[in-house]
Structures are given as structure tokens and as C-alpha cells.
Amino acid sequence: MLPMPMMPGQQVSAIREWENLMRQIGALAEQALDLAQGRAERIYQINQLDAVIEATGHGEVVGDSGYTREAAKAARAFLTWFVEGSQVEILVDVMPDESELRMSPLAILSARAGAP
């Protein structure tokens, strides 16, 4: 079902406003995953940044970045959690027959790509 167009001056319903926000968040999450799995990972692997970070002393700045060793490790841990978490299935709904509809956030984003 396609949404009805808004008339000038018409107030947006709460569900429509929420839907718009969810679509914006979905687009941001999709961009973040693309960056995390693509360029950021390639740069990290090709340049062996794990070795660069490990060679840096505790509390010291890593290379010419603004990251200390600990901040760089925290950023890497967050990125790993984010990418891995995008692949873990979550409960979306319980169907009338009591079966569970489960999808990973990555699958939800993929399904969203086909949504209006």
C-alpha cells in the first residue's frame, strides 16, 4: 500500500513521522555498514593497522592520528561489534501460528532497499 501524499499545511501523523525517522535511520545504518565492511576494513587490513596499534605504547598516540592506543582499540572493537551484530538474528514478530519471524539487521536493511 502506497502512502497518501500530504496536503500543504496538513499535520503529519505520529506513525508517519516515526516511519520517516525509521527510514532515515535505516539509510544511515546502511551507509555505516557499507563504510565499516568496505573502505574502513580494507584500510585496516592492507596497512596492517593492528600491528601499528599494537606497537604503540599504552597512552601514546598511534602514528599521526588523534587516537591513543586505547582509543584505536576501542574504535576497532566497536566496529567489530557493529558488523557482527548486524548479522545476528533478532525477533521481529510472532506470527498467528506462534512461529517467530526472525531477521538480522542486515537482512532488514536489504529488505528495506526494496521498500517504497
pLDDT class for 112, splitting at 50, 70, 90? confident
Instruction: Please report how many Cα atoms fall inside a 13 Å half-sphere around the Cα of residue 25, on the Cβ side.
Output: 8
- Mean pLDDT in residue range 15-35: 93
Phi/psi of residue 114, nearest 5 degrees: -90, -5
The single-letter code of the amino acid at 59 is G
- Give the separation between CA 88 and CA 16, rounded to whole angstroms: 28
Are 58 and 70 a contacting pair, CB within 8 Å?
yes
Residue type, 16: R
Counting beta carbons within 10 angstroms of the beta carbon of residue 1, is it exposed (0 to 12), middle (13 to 18) or buried (19 or more)?
A: exposed
Q: What is the pTM of this model?
A: 0.75
